[in-house]
Amino acid sequence: MKAGRILIVDDNKSALSALNLLLQYEFGEVVCLSNPNLIKGELEKQDFDVALLDMNFSAGLNTGNEGLYWLGEMKKVSPEVEVVMITAYGDVELAVKALKLGAVDFVLKPWDNEKLVATLKSALKLRQSHQKVAQLKNRESFLKGELNKGRQLIAGSAVMRKVMRMVEKVATTDANVLISGENGTGKEVIAQQIHSLSKRKNELLMNVDMGAIPESLFESELFGYHKGAFTDAKEDKVGKFQLADKGTLFLDEIGNVPMHLQSKLLVALESRTVFPLGSHKAVPVDIRLVAATNADLEKMVQEGSFRQDLLYRINTIKIELPPLRERGEDIELLAGHFLRVYQEKYHKPGLRLGSQAIRKLGNYHWPGNVRELQHTLEKAVILAEGQVLMPADFDLQAVNHHPGRELPSLSEMEKDLIINAMDRYEGNLSLIAEKLGITRQTLYNKIKRYEL
């Protein structure tokens, strides 16, 4: 099926007929106007992808000023239409003026049929690319609102309040930011916060997982390609850099970029231009860069697996996210937040966290950080049978292994044993003491000692 709605405006009726005859077989719909005064009404009546606009309408005039005027009027009514100018008088200065006012190309009469069709099809592809970007922006705006319901930034602890102060300072600038932290600490949430507080907040935040892009697709995904650049390139594709133009480019897990591809990334970031595969023309991009990693990039530089100049480029400002185990005050706040999110999602109003469950969550080591806590609350809400979530509703690892230790201490093992017994016997102290082979008073003393 032929695509594209084309508007042709030319007071030469013979030229109009010839253009209509040529283009009706190449595009989905062709509308012809011989009077430019009808342009506004036609554009208000329906959307056009491309317009072919004559430069001169009054007899004896060849300045092109009329065409420039109607180009401006056309852009006022329908700024998204791609306009190609056509004239019998070649003038470089005139062409430059038209391009500055928003035209995409310039064609001379008498025209070459093949070249004219190719020019209009290029304009149509540009229009379609812009439409895709607009759709992505709208979709991203909606999804961001939905995602943020469950990914709000909770910053009650002193260490997170410090992080937030830094985020607020750097967000209003265009400085490159590197976010580091363990998996699940919320690096993407921080990137979203930086974007939402920036002057680019109404543009696209383009999230690229660098660890998920195969090496063979690295350039085509990031920089795009032109039709015919390789065997399967059936049409032009806009890369992630171009999609992020005027917005924020978030390169997640940047430490996963192979060494031999880091130089290509560095060149794009330094020059703020990209070369789509199959093209020798540089495409400028206006992006704000935010990168994230769970790796020690300084150590990787020393080992020769990460370029030092690339690290300098992405590391203007560094934000280190603490693991959840160092954010004790935030655990209950986050748990309460996720509980509200999943109560709404799974239609389970009235659920609340029991005090023993809160203690269990607070005493857990959270190797998966905030992401693990989020999934834990979701699972508990789904499976909950009562109105109060108890310790037994949370399926956590039995032993909290701390970094740097091969085995937990006896006190840690004793503490975990008591927590597990409290889960199993639902807080019945007499039954727990009996099963553990100790008196109720001894059990009470240990609960108090371990702050359970």
Question: CA geometry: angle at 151 spanning 147 and 152, to 5°?
Answer: 120
Q: Check if the beta carbon of residue 410 is closer than 8 Å to that of residue 416.
A: no
Domain count of the chain?
A: 3
In the chain, the N- to C-terminal Cα span, in Å, equals: 69
Domain shared by 27 and 153, yes or no: no
Amino acid at 247: G
Reduced to 3 states (helix: H, G, I; strand: E, B; else coil), residue 132 is helix
Reduced to 3 states (helix: H, G, I; strand: E, B; else coil), residue 252 is strand
Domain shared by 171 and 308, yes or no: yes
Least trusted range by pLDDT, from 23-27, 250-254, 312-316, 440-444: 440-444
What integer best gives the mean pLDDT of the chain?
A: 86
Residue where one domain finishes, among candidates 129, 163, 198: 129
Domain shared by 156 and 273, yes or no: yes
Q: Check if the beta carbon of residue 221 is closer than 8 Å to that of residue 249.
A: no
- Per-residue exposure over 146-172, b if at least 16 CB sit within 10 Å of its own CB, e if not: eeeebbbbbbebeebeebeebbeebbe
pLDDT of the residue at 94: 77
385 within some domain? yes
Residue where one domain finishes, among candidates 272, 299, 320: 320
Q: Between residues 311 and 423, which one has the greater pLDDT? A: 311
Domain shared by 340 and 316, yes or no: no
User: Which CATH number is 435's domain given?
Assistant: 1.10.8.60
Domain shared by 341 and 432, yes or no: yes
In 3D, which of 308, 263, 270 has the Cα closest to residue 289?
A: 270
Sheet holding 50-54, edge to edge: 29-33, 5-9, 50-54, 82-87, 103-108
In 3D, which of 261, 7, 255 has the Cα closest to residue 120?
A: 7
141 within some domain? no
Q: Which two structure tokens, joined as six digits, stand for 249? A: 């480019």
User: Which CATH number is 74's domain given?
Assistant: 3.40.50.2300
138 within some domain? no
Instruction: For residue 430, give its domain range.
Output: 325-450
In whole angstroms, what is the distance from residue 332 CA to residue 260 CA? 45
Residue 279 has pLDDT above 50, yes or no: yes
pLDDT of the residue at 62: 57
140 within some domain? no
Domain shared by 265 and 373, yes or no: no
Residue where one domain finishes, among candidates 274, 298, 320: 320
139 within some domain? no
Domain shared by 242 and 300, yes or no: yes
In whole angstroms, what is the distance from residue 173 CA to residue 201 CA? 12
Instruction: Give the residue-averaged pLDDT of 101-123.
Output: 90
Residues 6+ apart with CB under 8 A from 345: none
143 within some domain? no
316 within some domain? yes
Q: Between residues 410 and 430, which one has the greater pLDDT? A: 430
Amino acid at 227: K
User: Which CATH number is 267's domain given?
Assistant: 3.40.50.300
190 within some domain? yes
